[in-house]
Amino acid sequence: RRYSRITGTGSYLPPRRVTNDDLVAELAARGIETSDEWIVERTGIQARHFAAPDVPASELAVPAAQAALQAAGLQASDIDLIIVATSTPDMVFPSTAAIVQHKLGIAGCPVFDVQAVCSGFVYALTVADALIANGTAHKALVIGAEVFSRILDFNDRTTCVLFGDGAGAVVLEASDTPGILATDLHADGKHVGILCVPGHVSGGQVLGDPLLKMDGQAVFKLAVNVLDKAARAVLQKAGKTEADIDWLIPHQANIRIMQGTAKKLHLPLEKVVVTVHDHGNTSAASIPLALDHGVRTGQVKPGQTLLLEGVGGGFTWGAVLLDL
């Protein structure tokens, strides 16, 4: 059978870095009280990056994709599939992937977005793996790109301190050997209300609330349990055990969720790639951003076994086990 393998990673953060103290001051001007101590203690977040208001997700996706192409030693013209995971697309339609394709200067290959919120990257990677396995594609760009700053309610201190903007990308190529060892995806739509942006466009207006709403405690409780199940499922499918994992690269929502997941898998925190302190929660971009960070800092090395796992609105969750 045909397998798929990651051959290059890349990422991009918008230049404006907002520390907790910067945010505390901005919120104080609105009469909203929070503190660096509260944010660090509850989430592990110390800073996040925000894109300028006129910079859409595709503008973050393109430099991340170019960095991944360069790492893989490929040109954009070599790519025959682009999937962008995003919940903050440039437009209602067409897809951000179509916009990215054009900005990369290529045409003709299939492109589409995947919308699974913070699980978007593991969903997109799973779809790309399947399209490579069945011969539809040979060299895919899989990108997570988000501008969550657009949908944050800066009058709601329980959510606006958590998120950031950014993009991460991988090149996934057909290979005779894996690569991706196992994937596992799930969703349960009964939890739509605990994490959503309920508004929609109708009759030329946004109807309903266009900003993010979250029941943080409900999300927290669900997240640790479903992540553990997804992790165990991919290990079982691949005939591996917890001891085979070199690095856990989880969705970077909250350090306490990551600690809880690592503990359940009997993994020390030294085996977890952590970027949440510096990026905040960048939704679908967080896993490829963390992966690229791990690769470029030399933490994560070729040949190692990585467990990628995500959880987010929907509720959606999933995991990908792979050899780099």
Write out the residues near ligand ACO by the rule CB under 6 A: 34, 38-39, 42-43, 118, 157-158, 161-162, 195, 214, 216-217, 219-220, 223, 251, 253-254, 281, 311-312
Name the catalytic one among 118, 254, 279, 293: 118
Judged by beta carbon, residue 61 or residue 253, the one nearer ligand ACO is 253
How open is the CA angle 133-138-142, to the nearest 5 degrees? 90
Query: Shortest Cβ distance from residue 319 to ligand ACO (Å)?
Result: 14
- Give strand pairing partners of 319: 184, 309
Residue 12 CB, nearest approach to ligand ACO (Å): 20
Q: Nearest approach, Cβ of 310 to ligand ACO (angstroms)?
A: 8
Looking at residue 19, its amino acid is: T
Are 101 and 107 within 8 A, CB to CB? Answer: yes
225 counts as catalytic: no
Contact 279/252 with Cβ under 8 angstroms? Answer: yes
Between residues 32 and 74, which has the closer beta carbon with respect to ligand ACO?
Answer: 32
Report residue 36: phi and psi, to 5°.
-55, -40
Catalytic residue among 20, 49, 160, 251: 251
What's the angle, vertex CA 110, arms to CA 295 and CA 89, rounded to 5?
A: 70
Nearer to ligand ACO, 169 or 194 (CB): 194
Least distance in Å: CB of 222 to ligand ACO?
8
Please say whether the beta carbons of 165 and 18 come within 8 A: no
200 is catalytic: no
Map residue 206 onto helix, strand or coil: strand
Q: Closer to ligand ACO by CB, 30 or 301: give it.
A: 30
List, in order, residues 6 or more apart from 253 with CB less than 8 Å away.
Answer: 118, 162, 223, 276, 281, 286, 311
| Catalytic, out of 49, 254, 279, 281 | 281
Annotation says 118 is catalytic: yes
Catalytic residues: 118, 251, 281
